[in-house]
Amino acid sequence: MQPTTRKNILLSIKAITAIFLFTAVSFTFMSFKMHKIYTDLWQQLGISKEKGIRNIEESFLNGAFYYYGAEKARNIVAGDRAAIAKDLLVYVKQQVNSDAFKNQYELQRKNARPVQYKQKMKTKEEIRKEKIDETEKSIKETEANMKTMKPEMVKALQPMLELLKNNLKDYKDPNSKMIDLFYQSEQMSQDNNKTSYEESMKQWEEQYPADYRQLIKRRLQKFIDLASTVDFSAELKLVNGKKKFVNPVYEAKAYDWKQVFRAGKDVIEPAMTFAQQWIKELN
């Protein structure tokens, strides 16, 4: 097989894995028969089975594309691209449905759960006592310091001392407006903390659904939605030795969109069918 052909096949399979966002290596599968021992695959990819499975899990859990370590992937002689993609998806499905993946997801979900820091709300009288104690301490310290200062410094500090005494008098007033403001601030702080926690919990529940199958459906649907927008008949042109889309709108598309295009219709359509069927099974 010519190097160019191998490169195209690699890009195609790499694209399908990247867009699904849950496979680990650039699994440039040959037309593996189901009875083929997968150990041979890992050896040919130049990656251990443990690392390959770990990358699948990381990709699916985190929504990123992990294929690090598959140094030998480019050297595999591949067969029919559609068959390769099917083998890939069947294998990934097996791994994602394993107890190991489910347990890892549950652990990640648990660790990501927002923590609610509960703090007892102060009563108005507790705030009053706190402010009175603080102010009395400040007055006492200021008066003690003023005894050791020069007259001009004492004169400069006198307005501050008077302010402290006025505040103390206000705090002791049962109808103090300042205490009311401090109490309102305490209430607002409690309300804000509660709202922030509730919003964090809502985001957590959306990002980490209790049923891990919802996460799988989300990844699959994301792929389907993206793939359905790709124009596989788009024309390319050579610019400085690199292929570019003739249509500037396509050239401005995101990397994932271009990866789907590079994979080709013969790979993407079966993959979409596979994903749609998988979603039905998850419902």
* Statement: residue 115 has pLDDT above 80: yes
Q: Where are the alpha helices (DSSP H) in 80-176?
A: 81-96, 99-112, 124-146, 151-172
How far is it, in rounded angstroms, from Cα 138 to Cα 141? 5
* Statement: residue 22 has pLDDT above 60: no
CA torsion sign for 49, 50, 52, 57 is: positive
Of the pLDDT bands very low, low, confident and very high (cuts 50, 70, 90), residue 7 is very low
| Verdict on whether the full-model pTM lies above 0.85 | no
pLDDT digits (tens, 9 = 90+) for 31-82: 333 334 355 555 555 667 676 666 666 666 665 544 444 444 444 334 455 6
- Note the pLDDT of residue 220: 85
Q: Find out whether 39 and 57 touch, Cβ atoms under 8 Å.
A: no
Q: What residue ranges do the domains of the chain occupy? A: 3-112+225-282, 124-206
β-pair partners for 245: 236
- The torsion region of residue 277 among left (phi > 0), alpha (psi -120 to 50) and beta comes to alpha
- Note the pLDDT of residue 20: 54
Q: What are phi and psi of 47, to 5 degrees?
A: -145, 145
- Percentage with pLDDT > 90 across the chain: 48
The candidate with the shortest Cα–Cα distance to 60, out of 29, 28, 91, is 91
- Judged by average pLDDT, the poorest of 58-72, 106-120, 177-191, 246-260 is 58-72
- Percentage with pLDDT > 70 across the chain: 70
Mean pLDDT of 98-119: 89
- Note the pLDDT of residue 29: 32
pLDDT digits (tens, 9 = 90+) for 145-182: 999 999 999 999 999 999 999 999 999 999 999 999 99
Q: β-strands 242-245, 236-239: how paired?
A: antiparallel
CA distances (Å), origin 3, targets 6, 78, 240, 270: 5, 11, 21, 25
| Higher pLDDT among residues 203 and 23, named by residue | 203
Mean pLDDT of 129-140: 96
- Note the pLDDT of residue 143: 94
Mean pLDDT of 236-254: 95
Q: Write down the residue that tokens 């021992």 correspond to.
A: 37
pLDDT digits (tens, 9 = 90+) for 195-242: 999 999 999 999 999 998 998 888 888 889 989 999 999 999 999 999
Q: Find out whether 95 and 30 touch, Cβ atoms under 8 Å.
A: no
Of the pLDDT bands very low, low, confident and very high (cuts 50, 70, 90), residue 248 is very high
CA distances (Å), origin 130, targets 123, 137, 152, 214: 11, 11, 32, 50
Tokens of 283: 């419902």
